[in-house]
Amino acid sequence: MTRCTIRGTAPDRAPTAASTSATGNPLPLLALSLVVEGPARIAGSFDGLGSTQGLLALGGLAFTVVVATLVGSGLWTTLMGRHPSSTVAPFSMLVPVVGTGASWLLLRERTSPTEPACGALVVAGVLLGSTRRRGPAGGDVVEVPATPSARPLDPSPASRA
């Protein structure tokens, strides 16, 4: 992990989060798969990758890894770094709605009449939650950014003695 000691400023976590999700997680899962399933079964899973169905599966995997994970996580981390979490976090509720809508539109999957109605309810809730907030007296709530400490923070235990 990155450690930042310059006047208590937070490090940029976007590269760390993206690299961890791309390289840190698959390695222990591969080791577990080798132990549980064995090398022969893993090698057999590569049969048929040259077929149409195998190529479509590889395309889906590439989309999941590149677009959904790296680009999506990078954008999310950037938004969380630039805006308060209370502003950004409600939009995570739109993930299932967008997924359901995309599967209906692009893959022609069937949806029950309840799903679009519930999706519209979620979208309305996110829009309602992300509009301008009012204070107790009816005035606008003003967010004041935190001010840095006049004295830099020193994380070493020796400085506390």
Q: Return per-residue pLDDT of the chain as tens, 161 residues.
A: 444 444 444 555 555 655 565 566 788 888 999 999 999 998 988 888 889 999 999 999 998 888 888 888 888 889 888 988 888 888 889 989 998 998 899 888 998 999 999 999 999 999 988 886 655 555 556 666 666 666 666 666 565 55
Is residue 22 within 8 Å of 69, Cβ to Cβ? yes
Amino acid occupying residue 153: L
Q: What is the pTM of this model?
A: 0.51
Compute the distance between CA of residue 12 and CA of residue 82 in angstroms, rounded to an integer: 11
Q: Nearest-CA neighbor of 83 among 72, 75, 73?
A: 75
Scan for tokens 């995309």, then name that residue: 102
